[in-house]
């Protein structure tokens, strides 16, 4: 027989930590330097990723 492992249940506070700000539109944007040039449009691109929720946005320059 195998050993029984008890899983730790996360509290609602731990489960939703940092997501309420992003839900209200207050993201914490950070510049991602992996992709700097859009080949299809032929323009420079700045890509941002939210540190809390992982949502991305791009801005043409």
pLDDT for 13-58, tens place per residue?
777 666 678 878 888 999 987 767 776 777 788 889 998 888 888 8
DSSP 21: H
Residue 48, class by beta-carbon neighbours within 10 Å (0-12 exposed, 13-18 middle, 19+ buried)? middle
pLDDT at site 35: 67
pLDDT at site 48: 92
Q: What is the pTM of this model?
A: 0.58
CA 29 and chain centroid, separation: 9
Structural domain boundaries in the chain: 28-61
């Amino acid at each position: 027989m195998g050993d029984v492992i008890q899983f730790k249940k996360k509290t609602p506070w731990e489960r939703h930590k940092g997501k309420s700000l992003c839900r209200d539109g207050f993201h914490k944007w950070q510049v991602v330097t992996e992709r700097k040039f859009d080949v299809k449009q032929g323009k420079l691109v700045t890509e941002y990723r939210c540190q809390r929720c992982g949502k991305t946005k791009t801005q043409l320059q």
